[in-house]
Amino acid sequence: MAVNGAQIVIDRLSHVYRPPHGRPVLAVDDVSLAVSHREFIALLGPSGCGKSTLLYLIGGFLPTETGTITVDSRPIAGPGPDRGIVFQHFALFPWKTVRANVMYGLKRSGLPRAEQEKRAQAFIDLVGLCGFEDSFPSQLSGGMKQRTAIARTLAIDPDILLMDEPFGALDAQTRSLMQSELLSIWQRSPKTVIFVTHDVQEAVFLAQRVAVMSARPGRIKALVDVNIDRGDPHLFRSKPFVDKVDEIWELVRAEAIKAQQGKER
C-alpha cells in the first residue's frame, strides 16, 4: 500500500499475544493506518483493546508477524532512536539522576560532550526541571518524573514520538497541565506523535485525528478528524469541542461496554 506523504504506513497488521501460561489472544486484528509527517494522532479505545500493543509494534519492541509497518518506506527492524517512546509509568532509570537520564540517549549522538550537556540542560529547562538535575527519580513527584522522561526522549530528537498513556498515572491537575505543555512543545517543534489514551477529552484536546479502536480484538473502528481552535480560552466549554467529544464518545461507548462484558465473562 503506497500512501503519498505518509510517514508511517501500517498495512493489514495483526498480532497474537502469547502469554507464557494460558491461551493465545488476538490483540491486534487486521489494522491498516497511514500517519503523515508531523501529524498528531490519538489511538483511543477501552483498556485491553490492543492500542498499546499496536504502539509497541510500531516501536519495534514486539516482532511484526502478520502484516507490515514501514517508516519512511522502510520496514521497521527493532527499536531505534528515530522512534522515541514515553511510557505510562515513566520507565526512568532509577539509579540515574535527572541529568544522567536525559543524557543517556545523547551519549551515542556523536556530539561533543560539552554540546551534549548543553542540550540536556536545554531540555531539562524546557520541561521546567531546572534545579532538580541531581535528583534521583525516587525524589520526584509523578509529574516531574514524566517531565524527565519526556525530556529524555525529546533530547535525542526523534522524528516520531510514541506515547503510551503518558499522563494516565498523574493526578487530574498535573495531567491537564502536562497536556497543555505537550501541545505547546509540539506546536513549537512539530513531530509525528502517536498518542495512546482511553480518555476522550484528552484525545480531542491533543490530536488532529483520532483513531477509535474496538474492544479486543483491536481493530480501527473509525478515524475522526478534529478541527478545533485550540486557542479558544473557553475551549472545554466551546460547542465544537463538546460536540466532537460527544461524537467520539458515542463511538467509544459501545466498545467500552463490550470490553466490560468481556472482562466479566
Q: Which residues bind another protein (CB under 8 A)?
A: 56, 59-61, 78-81, 83-85, 87, 89, 91, 93-96, 104-105, 108-109, 136-139, 152-153, 156
The dihedral formed by the CA atoms of 211, 84, 149 and 179, expressed in degrees to the nearest 10: -30
Residue nearer to another protein on the CB measure, 46 or 60: 60
Q: Which of 54, 33, 47 is nearest to 198 (CA)?
A: 47
Residue nearer to another protein on the CB measure, 37 or 89: 89
Residue nearer to another protein on the CB measure, 108 or 253: 108
* Residue 99 C-beta: closest distance to another protein, Å: 13
* Residue 139 C-beta: closest distance to another protein, Å: 6
* Residue 141 C-beta: closest distance to another protein, Å: 14
Residue nearer to another protein on the CB measure, 40 or 87: 87
Partners of 218 in beta bridges: 28
Q: The cell 525529546 sits on which residue?
A: 154
* Residue 78 C-beta: closest distance to another protein, Å: 7
Residue 141, CB half-sphere, CA atoms under 13 Å: how many?
Answer: 8
Distance CA 232, CA 211 (A): 24
Sign of CA dihedral 194, 92, 125, 165: positive
